[in-house]
Amino acid sequence: MKNIIVCIKQTPKSDNIKIDPATGCLIRTGAESAINPFDEFALEEGIRIKERLTAQGKTAVVNVITMGPPQAEAVLRTSVAKGADKVFHLSDIAFAGSDTWATSYALSKGIQKIGNPYIIICGKQTNDSDTGHIGAQISAWLKYPNSSFVRKVSELGDANITVERLVEDGTDTINLSTPAVLSVVKEINKPRIASISGRISAKTFEITTWTADDIKADKTKLGMKNSPTKVVKSFTPKREANSIVIEGATSKERANNLVKILKENQYV
């Protein structure tokens, strides 16, 4: 049996992110949460890999894991509606405030508890803290190979897989032995919409919830206190207070004026 493990995070809906300019804090009221946008592609790829393996006559299971507060359960239910077979929620006050070092440690322990992974799939990055670290860091804790920026999973062998990854100047094709960790970009697929029956069964689906003790995590590696990095301060970026509207009676005149400004300021 092949265990596909998809990591997803609950984050604020992307068009709902509002920061209080005075305090620099996220305004939570009315802020809806959802699956992190990139994780939709990770989940979809997990389901597609299962379908491809099934077509090869193999059995595969899509496991979804999230670490987060109790309300993060919602994204696991959405995953079930889309086709996840098993869902796991790492939820414990001990995890709170973890940086990427500690988060990736906790997730790696959760993955070990699920056991026997074939492929672990993450999104490229989140839309809140947005580090893009977690996939590569999970791979480091577990000593598995990793590929970030994956745009295609081209071959699924028993002991290794072939993927295409985007780099600045082109595309690498690389072969990774399994278990392997992948972080995927949007280009990889087009996520499906949950079926009605999926949505109905998701409502009552049993979620496995694990604490730090359940996954045998070393508590000196968890939480804000044990994280090597700290957020010292946060603030809203300075935006152009007033934008300058380019003058001119016709499009042509305005274009001429813009060129003048660009040249005067040596922007071009």
Binding site residues, ligand FAD, CB under 6 A: 7-9, 14, 36-39, 42, 65-68, 98-101, 103, 107, 122-123, 125-126, 128-135, 229, 231, 234
DSSP state of 40: H
- Beta carbon of residue 90, minimum distance to ligand FAD (angstroms, whole number): 7
The amino acid occupying position 70 is P
Task: Decide if residue 209 touches another protein (CB under 8 A).
Answer: no
**173 interacts with, out of ligand FAD, another protein, none, CB within 5 to 8 A per kind:** another protein
CB 25 within 8 A of CB 74: no
The residue type found at 227 is S
Least Å from the CB of residue 263 to another protein: 8
Determine, following the binding rule CB under 8 A, whether residue 26 of this chain makes contact with another protein.
yes
Q: Are strands 2-7 and 60-67 parallel, antiparallel or unpaired?
A: parallel
Crossing angle of helices 134-142/100-114, nearest 10°?
60
Task: Please tell me the distance from the alpha carbon of residue 45 to that of residue 121, in angstroms, as a whole number.
Answer: 8
Q: Which does 141 bind (CB under 5 to 8 A by kind): another protein, ligand FAD, none?
A: another protein
Q: Select from 197, 230, 249, 264 the one that contacts another protein (CB under 8 A).
A: 230
Give the CA-trace dihedral at 245, 249, 253, 259, to 10 degrees.
-10
56 binds, among another protein, ligand FAD, none (CB under 5 to 8 A by kind): none
Q: Which is nearer to ligand FAD, 68 or 179 (CB)?
A: 68
